[in-house]
Amino acid sequence: MEVGVLGWSYKKTSVELRDKIALSTVEQAELADRLKKSIPIDELTILSTCNRTEFYFSAREIKSISSELLKFLVNRWDLEELNAQAYQIQGIETARHLFRVASSLDSMVLGEPQILGQLKEAFQRYRDLGWIGGRFNCLFPSAFHTAKRVRTETGISSYAVSISFAAVELAKRIFSDLSQQRVLIIGAGEMAELALQNLKNQGVVDVMVTNRTYTNAENLAEKFAGKVIPIEQLEKRLCEADIIISSTGARHFVLTQSMVRKCLKNRRGRAMFFIDIAVPRDIEPEINDLPGAYCYDIDDLQNVVQRNQEERIRQAEQADKILEDEIARVRDWFLTRSAVPTIRKIRNEFQHIGQAELEKTLLRLSHLSDKDRDLVTSLVHRITQKILHKPTINMKALSKEEDRSLQLQVLLDVFSEKEGNNRSLDQKKPDLKLVRGAKF
């Protein structure tokens, strides 16, 4: 299999160095154009994300081209340390690596969904640029198919492994349809924004934001098409919210049991869900004792995350079995392709001989009508195809044997014309007659 990958990822390369080699789509196109002029690469796809920069390529001499590509990139970025931190993978291991990346089994957050979309976008981009050929048209769609199987046949992506996402998953246990709930965000920091982003992804549209610094609340609300509530109105407006997420830097409780008890009386049995992701805590723990109030703090969320991480690891073991099944299919396809040059040469040899003999014969049968000439032509072509049919199937089967290269080369030698055998038998016969007729 003449495919390889050269790359750098979060596993060995620091975020500072990854930032330096990250490539925009414009930079990728420019770099691909330079590579086309500099290195004999047949196919190329570049994947550049915050956690990895990878070059997938196919070429005739994969190992030497991989080394040449590494040297080219080290010089381009002028970063000698990339030599020691690069991974170079060839052959079937390239497929295994790609399948793991697509299925998010190689991600920093196991099971995260973004990488598959990023990989699909990269593949389509390089297809549009004319870099995709026969090998990648098999390899990448197979990776996408494998990733889909992993997501549908395992639960690897069903378990939240971030605090903000775990908060949303807990909210879904209380409210079946989050899109119908009103959310109140207390605080405007990174954790609050991440939680709000995840809620938006689940269809939440009605959002209120409050913060001690009004402009910060305003900026966050504007980003997510929400409404701003002055912090002074928090207790009055609290009753309007179904889901409350708090993440402030306050040194005392922002929400107390007495405040929530009043709200619940006015809500006529409608539940309230509180998520406290602040340290120290913003929400008084005793709120959880109130009927209709569900309160989780960061320790609860971390316990959920820990259990989910362990479950994702178990699901990854099942995903590995799916990967190996799909890799076996790709291996067979690539091995079969290894016989194509031999099959093509032998078929061309037979067809060339058949066509030459057909032309000679038709010259002698000039009395035939056009219809009869077409029949003779069709007959020769059908005979040639039938003669070649079983050998072609057998050569494809041979491509999966351990000594396939030797066996295919023997077949090629048998059917190919050897150098020095260009003279026909007719050219040799006169010499034989001379010897036979000589007098001693």
Provide the residue range defining the domain that includes 111.
3-153
CA 190, CA 220: separation in Å to the nearest integer? 10
Q: Are residues 222 and 192 in the same domain?
A: yes
Q: Each residue of 65-101: pLDDT tens digit?
A: 999 999 999 999 999 999 999 999 998 899 999 999 9
Pairing mode of beta strands 43-48, 52-58 = antiparallel
Q: Are residues 185 and 263 in the same domain?
A: yes
Q: Are residues 202 and 251 in the same domain?
A: yes
Q: Are residues 189 and 145 in the same domain?
A: no
Complete DSSP assignment for 86-150: -EEEETHHHHHHHHHHHTTSSSSSTT-SHHHHHHHHHHHHHHHTT---HHHHHHHHHHHHHHHHH
Kindly state whether residue 310 falls inside one of the protein's structural domains. Answer: no
Q: Are residues 49 and 14 in the same domain?
A: yes
Q: Are residues 141 and 169 in the same domain?
A: no
Q: Which of 50, 239, 263, 295 is catalytic?
A: 50
Residue 197's pLDDT band, with cuts at 50, 70 and 90, is confident
Q: Are residues 118 and 225 in the same domain?
A: no
Q: Each residue of 204-220: pLDDT tens digit?
A: 999 999 999 999 999 99
Residue 49's domain is classified under what CATH number?
3.30.460.30
50 is catalytic: yes
Q: Are residues 127 and 241 in the same domain?
A: no
Q: Are residues 146 and 170 in the same domain?
A: no
Q: Are residues 138 and 257 in the same domain?
A: no
Kindly state whether residue 135 falls inside one of the protein's structural domains. Answer: yes
Q: Each residue of 54-67: pLDDT tens digit?
A: 999 999 899 999 99
Residue 231's domain is classified under what CATH number?
3.40.50.720
Q: Are residues 115 and 21 in the same domain?
A: yes
Q: Are residues 130 and 175 in the same domain?
A: no
pTM over 0.75: no
- How many distinct structural domains can be found in the chain? 3
Kindly state whether residue 331 falls inside one of the protein's structural domains. Answer: no
Kindly state whether residue 284 falls inside one of the protein's structural domains. Answer: yes
* Predicted confidence (pLDDT) at residue 116 exceeds the cutoff of 80: yes
Residue 409's pLDDT band, with cuts at 50, 70 and 90, is low
Placement of tokens 């998953």 in the chain: 169
Kindly state whether residue 79 falls inside one of the protein's structural domains. Answer: yes
